[in-house]
Amino acid sequence: MVDVALIFPGQGAQAVGMGKEFYDGSAEAKAIFDQAQDTLDNDLLDVIFNGPQEKLTLTSYSQPAIVTFSVAALAALKESSKFQNINPKFTAGLSLGEYSALIASGAFSFEDGIRLVERRGAFMEEACDINKGTMAAVIGFDKDKLKEICEQAGAQVANFNSPAQIVISGGIQEVEKACELIKEAGAKTVIPLEVAGAFHSSLMSSAVDKFKAELDKITINSLALPVVSNVKAIAETDPKAVADNLSKQIISSVLWEDSVRFMASQGITDFIEIGPGRVLKGLIRKIDSSLKVHNIQTPEDIENLSF
């Protein structure tokens, strides 16, 4: 058996039609999709499978859609004989993907997880309306220098995705000022992002208390598999720590690079990215090119899985 980490993508990876092959070909995957539909009681499945893309991109659809597809793809993988060759040691996810990771680890049921995701998205949208903000991706720039400039401009660091990619967040004027200073200081590329607001920054603070109230309504179990948290980049199995990290994640930097390096330091050389897109594979390639990432987006990917 091969020790692996199961990793899950975040918002932005959605695509119309994703997961339809799993829905049609796996009883376990179909059950997950149907449960999402029943739990949220909206037109989620129709939007996932038929679009339009503009509707699927809305936070209220994209976040539950990505988690549903990721958990359904994992269910299909577990049905396969290929899963017998895998020994999962950790789970982790990028921002939203941490919810898929926690469901995979047994922290809470899929039903509770998808409700939390739906509520989180709604509270974050409300926060975006209260505090207008934006984000920008910075390519090829020193981490410490970037932190200094953000502090100077009043912006914040949202994601440490890889040595080559850091995302900043904050008020519109503050992010624009930071982008100017970063360019002047020699950044390779600065890309303004088309987002609804300043995610993973203090501008999301109004969402935190509302989210904590939702968390209090569910039971968080002791984790069967450690989750490497976005907030601390260490393995967590304690329910109280999980709840605390999920609340903090809304306003904290996502430490994805450190999370990957932590898992690698624990002997993990193989990662299985489960869900739409290959974003995490690209980031991990930049973090440590010796690490291997296997993608699961279709039943064919499961058939072709080999170590």
- Tens digit of each residue's pLDDT, the chain (307 residues): 999 999 999 988 899 999 999 999 999 999 999 999 999 989 999 999 999 999 998 888 999 999 999 999 999 999 999 999 999 999 999 999 999 999 999 999 999 999 999 999 899 989 999 999 999 999 999 999 999 999 999 999 999 999 999 999 999 999 999 999 999 999 989 999 988 889 999 999 999 999 999 999 999 999 999 999 999 999 999 999 999 999 999 999 999 999 999 999 999 999 999 999 999 999 999 999 999 999 999 999 999 998 7
Identify the active-site residue in 95, 162, 169, 206. 95
Structural domains of the chain ordered from first start: 2-129+201-303 (3.40.366.10), 132-193 (3.30.70.250)
3-state secondary structure of 80: coil
Nearest to 69 by CA among 35, 115, 107, 109: 35
Question: How far, in Å, are 105, 143, 245 from residue 110 at the CA level?
Answer: 11, 36, 19
Q: Of 200, 201, 206, 259, which is the active-site residue?
A: 200
CB 186 within 8 A of CB 200: no
CB of 114 within 8 A of CB of 29? no
Residue 200 annotated among the catalytic residues of the structure: yes
- What's the whole-model pTM score? 0.96
Q: How far is CA 240 from CA 68, 127, 302, in A?
A: 25, 25, 34
SS3 226: coil
Whether 294 is catalytic: no
Sign of CA dihedral 137, 138, 142, 144: negative
